[in-house]
Each structure stands twice: as C-alpha cells, then as structure tokens.
Amino acid sequence: MATPIDDSLWSTFGNCCLVLLVSKSHPLTKENGLKTPVYGLTGGIASGKSTVLELFDQLGIETRDTDQLARQVVDPGSPGADALEQAIGSKYFSDSALNRRLLRQKLYQSVRLKQQVEAVVHPLVRAAVTAWIASDTNSPYRILCSPLLIETEQHKTLDGVIVVDAPETCQLTRGAKRDNDSTARVQQIIDTQLPRLTRLEHATYVIDNSNDLTSLTNQVNALHETLTHD
C-alpha cells in the first residue's frame, strides 16, 4: 500500500514533488488486451486537477474528464436530462436546462439528492468512459480525470492513479476565488469528499500543487516522460 504523505514531508522533495508511491502492474492493459495504458487523475476540490489535465492535453495526451462527461450526458433534450428531471424534479431545471449552480449547492446538503443524481448520471458516464477506453488511439497513454475515481472504485480497473494534492488552506482559497463562493461553502464540500490522506494512500504518483504553475508544469513534464517510456 502507498505511504500517506503529510505537509511536513513535501519540503523533502523540493519544488518538483512528483513521487512514485507504488509500482504499476498495468491491470487494465493486461486484462483487456489493450495496447494503451490508462491512468486515473484525481484530487480534492480546487486541488488543480483541471490545470494538470490541460497540461497533459498540451503534451498531446488523449484525456477525458468525467465532470465534463457528466455535463454532456444531461445536456438539454438528452435522455439523461429527461431521466434526471424525472428523478429529482423540475425545480432544478429551467427551459429544459439543468440549473447546475442550484443543484451543486443542494447536493452537499442532502444525501438522498446526491444518491438520486448519481443513480442517473454515473451509469451514463461509465458507459461513455468504457466506449472511450475501447476506442483506438495514437496516444502513448491516456488520462481519465475523475474527482470520484477512488470513491467509485474505478481506480481498480486502471493502470495507475495520479493524485493532484494541495494543502486544505490552498483548496479553500482557490475554491472560493474560482467559484466566487465563501470559504465556508468550500469547506463544506471538502468535508464531504474523501479524506486527503485516504486519497494519497491510493496514489501511484502524487503531484504537489502547493507551489506555482512552473513547479506544477515541471512535475507534469517529468511524469509525462516517465509514462511515455514505461
């Protein structure tokens, strides 16, 4: 099992904190006869997952973001949108479009609502991910970004887990600024997510996003080199 990393240990690694925690066995590639490894990318709210995914995109790596897929499967007029409206009610919709901000606020206040949404959206996202993994690609490896990668146990089917990690203080500041929200609201979301150390225990690689963009880019470039020649 991977070793949890606390804030005091990050200083040991300097500015480039890409850390290999466990060796990879490529279970997805071996079990399904695929030629291209698929690595999961995850992290808590405002940890920098989207920025890291964009950096991989810029390197020419094929990626998918389950948050984006979750939006697409409930686009206005889609079967997913119809099923979701039937499940949670029309008060979360306006002119057939989902009021995502309202739903997001309520999701972290109601376990039942969260379960209802997941019962509709998760199977649709899984089907989209499965089709993507089975498709042909020229990419040397693929990255699947999912905030619920570990919670849904999807990481067990992939070739490794990349955790984008940042101290909670960074998450609060970045999340409040990004979403124009209060730190109290961001804290509420953090409290509903997988604990930081638990997430780190599942990591194959950890990218430290407590510093600047240059440090983050250097770590992604280093990991790209590793995964390309693995």
CA distance 125 to 178: 25
Residue 6: pLDDT band (50, 70, 90) is: very low
Q: Which of 138, 166, 188 is the last residue of a domain?
A: 138
Return the structure tokens found at 184: 């109290």
Last residue of a domain, one of 115, 138, 161: 138
Q: How far apart are CA 10 and CA 5, in angstroms?
A: 8
> For the purposes of burial, counting CB atoms within 10 Å of the CB of 146, is it exposed (0-12), middle (13-18) or buried (19 or more)?
buried
Whether 108 contacts 188, CB under 8 Å: yes
Residue 13: band (very low, low, confident or very high) from pLDDT cuts 50, 70, 90: very low
Length, in residues, of the chain: 230
The domain of 117 spans 66-138
Among 89, 108, 138, the domain-final residue is 138
pLDDT at 104: 87
Indicate the Cα dihedral angle 5, 173, 47, 110, nearest 10°: 100
Question: What is the tally of structural domains in the chain?
Answer: 2
pTM as predicted:
0.81
Q: What is the mean pLDDT of residues 17-23?
A: 46
